[in-house]
Structure 1
Amino acid sequence: MKKLLIAAFSLVAFFANAQKLDKGLLWKISGNGLKNPSYIYGTMHIVCDNTLDKKTLKALDDTKQLYLEMDMDDPSLPMKMMSGMMMKDGKTLSTMASAEDLKLIDDYLVQNTGMGIKMMDKFKPSLVGMMVMPKMVDCTIRSVEDALMNVTKEQNEETYGLESLEEQFAVFDAIPYDEQMKELIKSAKEGTEKGKAMFSKMLELYNAKDLNALMDFMNAEENKFYGDNTDVLLDKRNANWIPKIEEAAKKTPTFFGVGAAHLGGDKGVIALLRKKGYKVEAVK
């Protein structure tokens, strides 16, 4: 179930408005009354290699706690996930598409997940589509978040979340289910090859630490569904995180890890922190 949650936000974390940034995933937050700097790191939820470099390990060593988008160590997550995945108001996938399209989706899911549409009939369409994500990667799936949490545990420090599981899943209630269903049908028609090519390109840009090129790529026309819903997927969440980031950083030096695209854009975390008077600079 934890892997499903990671997959559920693997694409969400890469859509943002363009703002030119220096190359880099690790950013230092200082000034505006902070006694000690904190750091924010752009993560990718599905990678082939989640090895952390020396400067990231040093930043983890220089801070006293870890904040991810959500507290992935919460033991109650599996139970909460099931209810969060369900559509509200009794909606079902089987009532939202033609018999032909439902058959197409069923074949797509069986081939790539081993489960048919009946087993997921009440799930939100976007989450159903994201269950295919492991098939998009030709390697053993790892996540940057896991690497960050492992170091934090070794340091006997705590991991916290900038938002709750309920808040994360509410994102997929704010986007109309019918709109999500259209995207799921589109994915089923295209098959996994296009998704594999897109994900391979994302990994390439992420590994190059080129957030500008990554954002340009993900804002392309073929990703219109996500681009049209940036306000829900990114902007509102970024704004909600800023007071929590400020509060944590003022109390103790903190390492923040969030999806890379949350960093960029005029409404991204870096821009919002700078507007609040903080100095945010890439760690070279």
Structure 2
Amino acid sequence: MNDKKILSVLLTLFLLLSCSNSSVSNAGSLLWKVSGNGLENPSYLFGTHHLVPISILDSIYGIRSAFENTKQTVGELDMSDMAGMQMQIMSQAAMPEGVTYSSLLDHEEEMLLDSMLRDVLGVGLEKLGMLKPAVLTNLISISLFQRFYPSAASAQSLDQYFQDEAIRLSRPVMGLETAQDQIDLLLNIQTLQRQADMLICMVKHPDLLKEQMDDLQVAYHAQDIDALRELYDKEIPDDPCPNTDAEKNALNGDRNRKWLEKLPAIMKEKSSFIAVGCLHLPGEEGLIEGLRKLGYTV
């Protein structure tokens, strides 16, 4: 398990974290046209899933035309400086000095985690124990996704594809967040103990993870962002591993509000193809309703 693999996993995290229904049904729609409110040319909003093959674009009506008719591409993160992001991520992914999994988990839990790591990643805590629990959570989750859906796991994400295409066409690429913003979201909004508790809960309930992945795949391929959002908001009876409302708000609501402050100026400057995780589109606090409230036709 090398640094490049760890970086790849971290950069694909932000849908799996990171599709209340809005007042207008959004079912069957991943691509949205944004016009009006003084825009000379429309922009487009597209909900991505970071772990599906590029071939899904063939089933999304109008996606190629929407991309071709814009002048810049906007993502959650500008992914052009991968080497710099790798250094930044790896500098913050390590456990603080003096903190070990023995101090965060009991002995039985530590052995269970070590066994899961060996089964899924081929190496155990002797190699990976220096990494924070949130990193291990996502290494395991994404590696299991690739095991469950080998044909769906693409070497290139939809987000990376559109940014690469923009660069090929000599178009600007910009991010709504910095690498540090996303590192903070992944590694710093929870205490290490909370991260460890969520990690071991996932390890103890792999069937629940598989069920969630299956539901996610079905809803995304149906292009039903309301169904994706319902999965995210769904309260499972006796859920052993629930996220808190504060954690969910940090992943979506707070970020959407910050993006809605930036998007009007971005779209006014150039018609934009905006590709972000599909969970950010629906809901009363989602980008679709947020842009409508700002006076745009979506």
In the superposition, the TM-score normalised over structure 1's length comes to: 0.89
2:280 aligned with 1:262: yes
Aligned ranges for residues 108-127 of structure 1 at < 5 Å?
A: 108-127=116-135
Corresponding residue for residue 292 of structure 2: 274
How many Å separate the matches in 2 of 1:122 and 1:164? 25
Retained in 2: the 8 A contact 1:93–1:123? Answer: no
Corresponding residue for residue 187 of structure 1: 202
Match of 2:193 among 170, 178, 181: 178
Match of 2:37 among 10, 28, 32: 32
**1:254 Cα deviation from its structure 2 partner:** 0.5
Change (3 A) 1:119 1:8: farther
2:89 aligned with 1:81: yes
Letter in 2 for 1:217: L
How many Å separate the matches in 1 of 2:78 and 2:250? 20
Corresponding residue for residue 19 of structure 1: 22
Retained in 2: the 8 A contact 1:126–1:181? Answer: yes
**Unaligned runs of at least 5 residues, structure 1:** none
**Unaligned runs of at least 5 residues, structure 2:** none
Retained in 2: the 8 A contact 1:6–1:46? Answer: no
Corresponding residue for residue 241 of structure 1: 259
How many Å separate the matches in 2 of 1:89 and 1:239? 36
2:110 aligned with 1:96: no
Retained in 2: the 8 A contact 1:41–1:256? Answer: yes
Retained in 2: the 8 A contact 1:162–1:241? Answer: yes
Give 3-state SS (helix, strand or coil) of 1:131's partner.
Answer: helix
Give 3-state SS (helix, strand or coil) of 2:263's partner.
Answer: helix
Out of 201-210 and 83-92, give the one that drifted further. Answer: 83-92
Retained in 1: the 8 A contact 2:37–2:296? Answer: yes
Change (3 A) 1:30 1:88: farther
1:232-280 deviation line (CA, Å, top 9, x unaligned): 1111111111122122101000111110011111111122222211121
Identity fraction in percent: 29
**1:12 Cα deviation from its structure 2 partner:** 1.3
Corresponding residue for residue 143 of structure 2: 134
Letter in 2 for 1:155: L
How many Å separate the matches in 1 of 2:55 and 2:172? 20
How many Å separate the matches in 1 of 2:118 and 2:126? 11
**1:13 Cα deviation from its structure 2 partner:** 1.6
How many Å separate the matches in 1 of 2:130 and 2:265? 38
Corresponding residue for residue 222 of structure 2: 208
**1:122 Cα deviation from its structure 2 partner:** 3.9
How many Å separate the matches in 1 of 2:115 and 2:276? 34
Match of 2:162 among 140, 148, 161: 148
**1:49 Cα deviation from its structure 2 partner:** 4.7
How many Å separate the matches in 1 of 2:107 and 2:54? 41
Aligned ranges for residues 45-64 of structure 1 at < 5 Å?
A: 45-52=50-57, 53-64=60-71
**1:157 Cα deviation from its structure 2 partner:** 1.6
How many Å separate the matches in 2 of 1:89 and 1:250? 47
Retained in 1: the 8 A contact 2:133–2:199? Answer: yes
Retained in 2: the 8 A contact 1:77–1:165? Answer: yes
Regions of 4+ moved over 6 Å:
none
Retained in 1: the 8 A contact 2:10–2:138? Answer: no
CA RMSD, 1 decimal: 2.1
Retained in 1: the 8 A contact 2:15–2:278? Answer: no
Out of 144-153 and 26-35, give the one that drifted further. Answer: 144-153
In the superposition, the TM-score normalised over structure 2's length comes to: 0.85
